Structure 1
Amino acid sequence: MDSQPPANESPPSTTPSNIGDIVPLYSSYLWNRVASLIPTSNSIILGKFSNLFRQTFTKSRRVSFPLPLPSEFPCSSPNISSDTSRIYAVLEEIMADVLSNLHDIQKSLDFWQSRAEGSNARKAYFMIFERGPVAFVNESKNFVRKSLSEDSAMQHLCLSSSSHMSDRMRVLMELRSSLASFLAQLYVELDKRGEDLLKNPEKSLPSLLAVINRLFSNLESSFSHLHAVRESDSSIDGSYSMPLVFDRLPEINEEGSQWTDCELTDAINLVHKNLEKLNSYLSVMVGKHRKPRRMTLYWVRYTCGAVGLSVFSIWLLRHSSLMGSSDIDNWIHDAKEATMSFFSDHVEQPLLAIRDELFDTFRKRHKGVMETEEVQLTQDSLHRMLRNFCEQDTREKVPDNASDQEMLEVVMNRYEKELVHPIHNLLNGELARGLLIQVQKLKLDIETAMLELDQILRANEINFAILAALPAFFLSLGMLTLLRTWLKQDSRAQGRGRIARIHRRLLVVEIEKRIMQYQSYIEQGRDKDAENVFGLLIYSLERLYRVVEKPARTSGEWDLVKQDLIELGRPQQQTSYKLTVTQRLVKVYDCLLPTLQRQ
């Protein structure tokens, strides 16, 4: 293998999607051009300096799911060289980039699938209102034209929408399949060669680099097949005008002799270059078939919001002091007074009333509407009136233990007799006196009822104070709920709330389904499909690994959860054992239990 970079090397044909990809790509190219002018004897030093230069400008990516290598690799072995550490870093970068691209593809694929499963009205709405203002004008114009000339304008729009979505779904599914197969092959190879890399890295590294080179070649063939099949029938302009061509290692004897440091350096640089080409190619391909950006998807809402904000700003300006109006100052003053009144009526006064009810003594309470002494005076007066009336009417002394009810019966009997001649008895009889006694009895009943009502009000004074504070309580409860949701990030799988737990458990269900699907394809002899599903299984494990790490560390279960996830990714592990592990994940670990079962 030649230690110098090729002198006639040209810049990559793919177009990077952002500055983070342009800097390492073209800086490497320029450095290789300069290095080609330097003698070969210094190529090792230049290669190391080139790698340092690339690592300085390359965006670092941390792979979440561990590589299928021994836990001691590459840190705890005396045989590990700097080249081996660089290979390990390259493998981590490959895994991270492939998983990141798979995630982008899967998000867009989920979006198109959800839109494709919608109704015809939903598809038509997407074609007109969710693809930006330019598409809105064009589709509206075409829809009106076809409505005037044909009767099937709506049907044509739905067919166009279905074609628009299905074309993107097909391309994304093929990209996902190719990347998943690449990921599965790489993962299986690393699982096979892990012990050899640890024990004898000098002999294992060349063969591993050759395998990686072969995997890139297979990926290139897969993408070339995608171009050949879809180039003619694609509805997306320019989708397949940029073929992907990877650089290849020269044909050398991998087993007969050890590679020199210069050859290993060039091979690692070539892997880096191929990975950069892959990222640039996928950024273009996925960018053409990805779901619309949020600004494009909700441009109608944003436009209406911008118009509404503009109108509100003009209205606010007209009522501001800048235009000589005092309306805003008056509104602020009224709002301040209303807020203070609400705080006083529903917060301050109820709390003070509760405090007084709980801590003040009974004697310090305010005087009620009716006191017991007043009622007793009225009752004593009625008793004397009844006693005098009965003694005069019966000419006998009333016993001391006679009740008011007994004496009142005597009064009522005489009252009934007096009513026979009401006018005569009103002037000369006892009718007027009987009426006054009944008025006194009515007064006593009213005062007794008022006394009982006052006692009820006093007994429930704290309840009324709490009732007055309920509006402020519910307002505070709503604010606390919003704050709790924001702190727990309950809508994400990384959160600690109920929704986050549901998302994590659904990821376990997805992993279990792919394990069973992988086993089914193996039994049917469909190795290619099994390889694809295994790559998607690694992707699902990486997603769960990423989202469960923080809650598992909080609950102290991370080491066990991590080991179980690694076991699920081992290619040689039995399917029955993997299914047992998935059941253990959702039944044992607190970070994956549902909230109700946890309680």
Structure 2
Amino acid sequence: MVPRLLKTVLGLPLKIVRRALKQWTFSKPEIIPVGGLTPEVSSELLFALRQAATTAEDERIVCQWLSALELAQVTSDRLLHDTSKVDQSLGFWAARLKAGQHRSFLLLGQGPTSFVLDILAVVTRKTNRHNHLSATDQIERRVIVLRALQARLLEALAKVHDGAAQLSILKRPERELVHQISAVGAQPSEDERERLLSGARQATRKCIESVVSAVNDAKQAVDEITVPPSAGRSEPATKTVVQAIAVAQALRSRVAHRLHYIASQTGILDPEADSASSSNRKHREAAATDDVDMALSKAEDELDFMPQAGATTSANAALTAAAMAAARHRRLITIPEWLAAPSKYQRYWVRYTLAGVASLWALRFLYIHSPLSGSHDLENWGTAATESVVDAYRNRVVAPILQLKDELFQTFRQRRSIVSVAEYETDKASLERMLADFERDFARSSSGEAPGAAAAPQPGEDQSMTEAEDASLPGMKFMMECYEGELKRPIRNLVNGRLLRTILIQVQKLKLDTEAAMLELDQILRANELTVAVVAAIPSLAIAGGTGYLLIRWITPSPPDRRSEALPARMALVEAERALEHWATDEDSLEGQGAVIWHTAQVYWETAALFRRHSGVGLPGLSTKSEWHNLRQDLIELIAPGQPDVKQKICQRMQRVYSLFQP
């Protein structure tokens, strides 16, 4: 708890700075290309169409094509947002269905307004209290209806992407012509121009038809949802499930007539008949263009969006404008209030009410002790708290670091030692001279031994220790032997012999040993002082080091942690692979195709946010060594319409190649 709170407090300024930097500098939204039409592919197609356009009518066709692309992009973004909202509500109610305590939650977890209405309903309908629909049945109905609504939105999403894929002019001759014009920049021939513009016109018509159909399908799905059952009617759980399934079936079947009516009114479904006459063909093309304009106007009214397509508008600018428009106004449908997941304030309104009461009491307390009521308690408390914080900062953070600096740069250089090394060397030289003089004066003993002669070592004596003593202080062994001999007649030798001189030499030796011990003790004291300074500076060093680490990690790019941070992306990819498997069993299912698009979009969002957090400055994939570039291309291929078996191979390659999806 404490480390998490500390991490939150320390990371709050960095989060504020990053959010401000993102809003000021990197306000461009992340685009999920509809139908696999990336800005690069769209720019290539638009360049080829403009190269083929020679008349004002041709330019109008190109503008219609670009407008259809914008409308498809806006519709896709809004449907993805609505599907996300429905999925959140579905996940919430499904979790509540498993959690239990449904009655208490429906009573206290939907806001104070719902609480008051439920209390009034219970008070006014005491006789029908036992016939009231159970809380479990109410939540179960929400789950079933939300699943049906999500299925309809996924079908609409698949229609939009299929329609947008028509804009890429999928026939092989047109694609080869587009690549030739884009690569060489040559002017196409009259037949090639006619074929290209005719394909663009047909693709535009089909795309708008799919967009209008998808929009009406989504709105009709919400209109077909019935209101929640009245509280006074008794309905068992089985009947609730049957009614909810009927609602789902209605959502799937009652749109075709309306769509056909709209398409017939706008002229989208009228086929273009062949004619040998050039004038009649031009007349029909102009009529078809007018029909496309009518369909565009209808789609614009349905989406409440005006495309920015013009004679000089680029594909990248058009897609960016569409994405920004969808970001400003994301909602295409409105989920009924009784189906939407309660907000955090509705779920915890009791806690917030208690917190509000506590806040009012705190405000009253502050008013009583504030200068408004003539009291100076708040000022005194604030001054005392400020002084305490400042003193704690100086004593616990600044002072230990300064003390550690002084220990490192001044103590070892300026601190006076108890015994200096020079004094020790002087006393050692003096002792060596004493021993030499003693050996020279008393070298010849009464037994006639040669000067400096020493007795042979005893069998149990350590020869190495004797040699070490002789090497360190020459003559010390001779002096100790004389001292041992003089102690046999101490009184006589004290006056006439060498006993007093040997005692004085030993005093000098004791002084030398004491100075050596004091030098060692001084080194130990210095090391201990440094250790104490480091231990005292640990909190301040931890704060400074943690702040520096977070700042460096925020500025410089780093690979994401696969075990924790990449877990949502991996789970989203698992859901996408599962949706692919279901779609492979029924390739004609629009719901399965829409589920693949939706789950792949979730993977796209999760990975983009993950790479953005670890890029250092807020944009994904700035480093040339990042996996984002290839990963983004694979995700776009998964979103684009195609065969399920091909997409399954792409999904398997992603799990095999990218470290992000490897546990």
Give TM-score scaled by structure 1 length.
0.62
SS in 1 for 2:338: helix
- Please give the secondary structure, in 2, of the residue aligned with 1:551: coil
Deviations 1:410-461 (A, max 9, x none): 768988999xxxxxxxxxxx99999999988766544432211223445677
1:323 maps to 375
Q: d(CA) in 2 for partners of 1:261 and 1:486? A: 53
Q: Report deviation, 1:215.
A: 4.4
Question: SS at 1:183's partner residue?
Answer: helix
Query: Quick one: distance in 2 between partners of 1:341 and 1:432?
Result: 59
**1:292 and 2:342 equivalent?**
yes
Corresponding residue number in structure 2 for 1:480:
548
* Residue 255 (1) aligns with residue 271 (2): yes
Does the 8 A contact of 1:186 with 1:212 survive in 2?
yes
SS at match of 1:227: coil
Q: 1:376 to 1:165 in 2, by over 3 A?
A: farther
For this pair of structures, how many residues does the alignment match?
493
Q: Which residue of 1 aligns with 2:633?
A: 563
Aligned partner letter, 2:414:
R
Q: Please name the residue that 2:621 is paired with.
A: 552
> Which of 127, 130, 154 is matched with 1:180 structurally?
154
Q: Structure 2 vs 1, CA of residues 206 and 452 (structure 1 numbering), >3 Å: closer, same or farther?
A: closer
- In the aligned structure 2, how far is the partner of 1:198 from the partner of 1:417? 134
Residue of 68, 71, 96 corresponding to 1:87: 68
Alignment of structure 1 residues 370-409 onto 2, 5 Å: 370-375=419-424, 399=452, 403-404=475-476, 407=479
- Cα shift readout 1:341-388 (whole Å, capped 9, x = no counterpart): 33452122322433447xxxx8x5332122235546776888869999
Q: 1:214-258, CA deviations, whole angstroms, 9 ceiling, x for partnerless residues? A: 4456556655665399898779xxxx9xx9986742635611455
Q: Which residue of 2 aligns with 1:471?
A: 539
Q: How does 1:215-254 map to 2 (within 5 A)?
A: 215=214, 219=218, 226-227=225-226, 248-249=261-262, 251=264, 252=267, 254=270
Asked if the contact 2:159/2:210 (under 8 Å) is kept, the reply is no
2:620 match: secondary structure: helix
Q: What is the Cα deviation at residue 567 of structure 1?
A: 2.0
Shift of 1:521: 4.3
Deviations 1:104-142 (A, max 9, x none): 222333344455555x58x79866775445678999999
Measured at CA, do residues 369 and 290 of structure 1 come closer, stay the same or move farther in structure 2, by a change above 3 Å?
farther
Question: Quick check: 1:564–1:581 contact (8 Å CA) kept in 2?
Answer: yes
Summarize deviations over 1:467-488 as a string: whole Å, max 9, x none.
Answer: 4433211011233355567779
Match of 2:201 in 1: 202
* 2:457 matched residue in structure 1: none
Equivalent residue for 1:533? Answer: 595
Instruction: Tell me if structure 1 keeps the 8 A contact 2:82–2:333.
Output: yes
Distance in 1 (CA, whole Å) between partners of 2:136 and 2:620 is 41
Given the alignment, which residue of 417, 420, 424 partners 1:368?
417
Q: Which runs of 5+ in 2 are unaligned?
A: 1-27, 123-132, 171-195, 242-246, 273-283, 306-328, 454-469, 491-497, 613-618
Of 351, 356, 380, 2:405 maps to 351
How far apart are 1:271 and its partner, in Å?
2.4
**276-285 vs 330-339, greater mean Cα deviation:** 276-285
Letter matched to residue 420 of structure 2:
E
Moved more, 498-507 or 432-441: 432-441
Query: Counterpart in 1 of 2:88?
Result: 107
Give the counterpart of 1:169 among 140, 143, 165. 143
> CA–CA distance in 1 between the matches of 2:621 and 2:288?
45
Show the counterpart of 1:35.
Answer: none
In structure 1, distance between residues paired with 2:353 and 2:330: 34
Deviation at 1:179, TM superposition (A): 0.5
Write the distance in 2 (CA, Å) between the matches of 1:307 and 1:194. 61
- Work out the CA distance in 2 between the residues paired with 1:126 and 1:417: 108
Once the two structures are superposed, residues 181-238 of structure 1 have per-residue CA deviations (whole angstroms, 9 ceiling, x without a partner) of 1111332344356417864333444454444444456556655665399898779xxx
1:57-76, aligned counterparts within 5 Å?
A: 63-69=31-37, 71=42, 72-74=44-46, 76=48
Residue 282, structure 1, aligned to residue 298, structure 2: no
| Secondary structure at 1:290 match in 2 | coil
Q: Distance in 2 between matches of 1:61 and 1:303?
A: 37
Q: Name the CA distance, whole Å, in 2 between partners of 1:565 and 1:170.
A: 30
Q: CA deviation at 1:323?
A: 1.6
Secondary structure of the structure 2 residue equivalent to 1:474? helix
Q: Which amino acid in 2 is paired with 1:366?
A: R
Amino acid at match of 2:200: P
Match of 2:299 in 1: 271
Q: How far apart are 1:574 and its partner, in Å?
A: 5.7
Instruction: Check conservation: 1:184, 1:534, Cα contact below 8 A.
Output: no
Stretches of structure 1 lacking an aligned partner (at least 5 in a row)? 1-59, 144-158, 419-429, 489-494
Query: 1:332: Cα distance to partner?
Result: 2.7
Judging changes above 3 Å, is the alpha-carbon distance between structure 1 residues 410 and 566 closer, same or farther for their aligned structure 2 residues? same
**Contact (CA 8 Å) 1:64, 1:545: kept in 2 or not?**
no
Contact 2:94 2:143 in 1 (8 A): yes
Equivalent residue runs for 1:427-446 within 5 Å: 445-446=513-514
TM-score, scaled relative to structure 2: 0.57
Seen in structure 2, the aligned counterparts of structure 1 residues 62 and 472 have a Cα distance that, compared at 3 Å, is: closer
SS of aligned partner of 2:636 = helix
| RMSD (CA atoms) | 5.6
What is the match of residue 37 of structure 1?
none
Give 1:522 deviation, angstroms. 3.2
Partner letter of residue 96 of structure 1?
A: D
Letter in 2 for 1:534: V
1:266–1:141 CA distance, 2 compared to 1 (3 A): closer
Cα distance, 1:450–1:552 mapped onto 2, change above 3 Å = same
Q: Which has the higher contact order (CA 8 A, sep 6+)?
A: 2
1:266 is paired with a residue of what secondary structure?
Answer: helix
The one-letter code matched in structure 2 to 1:99 is L
